[in-house]
Amino acid sequence: MFFRQIRYGFLLLFVVFLITACTRTEQGVSIGVEASVATTQQMERFGQLGDEVYTDTVQADFLEARKKIIQMSELLPQMQLEGITTPTGVKTLADTLQQAIKVYNAVQLNTEEALFQSTRIRLMADALTHASSPLWLQYNKVVQEHLLQMEKAIKQKEQDKLKTTFINLKNLYLSLKPALQVSLQENEASKLDSAFVYVQKELQTAPMSMTNLNHGIKALQKVLEDQFQNKADASAYLPFMELNEPSYHWMIVLATIIMIILSYTAWRMRATKNDIITIYRK
């Protein structure tokens, strides 16, 4: 019986520990919960607007798309993005929206340019709202195919094909660039820019040096693979709950554990009571 009491004591201590831990978690999170929830809601709205800008543009509803770009530019300064993206990322968000507004404000709208800008906005907004698994990761295969075609063109010394493929790759990169700058660290984004500039410079050199181009393409491939692979690896090891997620999931889990332990303790105490034989003094 003594050992049973000790066992119950440990169970009760464990319950107290869980309750205390839950309380501390709530206190620790509650300081930033309101700001975090507000920021999350604003980011979700920002991402939704980005999707709608793209959809409206594809459907040729340019006026509606323009309104939503303006809404995004007005919403951006309200969001607390420190720690979510870099200062370069914040600047990129603002600059990309301003560039798009100029395109949509044109007297004679260039529909191809509008589609290009809407694609950039959608990917950029998604990179902000889905930091762990951004849409731009899905372009990895297309990027690698372009790089493979460039390698083949160098081996076969097909300069025109090499130039055309690089132009296509660079256009793709320019579509992804705002999203990459939102997602990546500043030094990582700078490496990508430098690699593209080097290859472009070599392509414009007369006569072309296939050795230098091959070196540049290998370097570009390495940088691109690193960024895509690093982000893909990070998304494969997501925590149970991200920082900006509400704490309700944890509360439910901990409450469930506490209820199970309390129920078990009550049952064991009742069973123990039934096992006790009362001895009366004669």
Quickly state the pLDDT bin for 14 (edges 50, 70, 90): very low
- Per the structure, the count of domains in the chain is 2
**Same-domain status, 68 and 104:** yes
**Phi, psi torsion values for 279, nearest 5 degrees:** -110, 120
Going by the DSSP 8-state scheme, the letter that residue 77 receives in this structure is G
Co-location of 4 and 86 in the same domain: yes
- 110 within some domain: yes
pLDDT reading at 96 higher than 60: yes
Q: Residue 31 and residue 261: Cα distance in Å, rounded?
A: 29
The answer, yes or no, to whether residue 1 has pLDDT greater than 60, is no
Same domain, 106 and 144: no
Report yes or no on 88 lying in a domain: yes
| Residue 140 near residue 157, CB atoms below 8 Å | no
Question: Is residue 3 pLDDT above 60, yes or no?
Answer: no
φ, ψ dihedrals at 82, nearest 5°: -65, 125
Would the pLDDT of 255 be above 80?
no
> What is this structure's pTM?
0.69
| Together in a domain, 156 and 112 | no
Contact 118, 96 (CB under 8 A): no
Which CATH number belongs to the domain containing residue 184 in this structure?
A: 1.20.120
Predicted confidence (pLDDT) per residue in 39-68, tens digit: 889 999 999 999 999 999 999 999 999 999
When computed from its CA atoms, the radius of gyration of the chain, rounded to whole angstroms, is: 29
Round the average pLDDT of the chain to a whole number and report it.
Answer: 78
Residue 234: which pLDDT band, with cuts at 50, 70 and 90? low
Q: At what angle do helices 87-105 and 62-75 cross, to 10 degrees?
A: 150
Nearest to 183 by CA among 115, 85, 279: 85
Residue 260 lies in a domain: yes
Mean pLDDT of 237-266: 43
The reported pLDDT for the residue numbered 233 is 59
User: What is the pLDDT averaged over residues 161-185?
Assistant: 95
Torsional class of 157: left (φ above 0), alpha (ψ -120 to 50), beta (otherwise):
left
Same domain, 127 and 252: yes
Question: What is the band of 227 on the pLDDT scale with cuts at 50, 70, 90?
Answer: confident
* Paired tokens of 230: 């690093």
Cα separation of 25 and 21, whole Å? 6
The pLDDT > 90 percentage for the chain reads 61
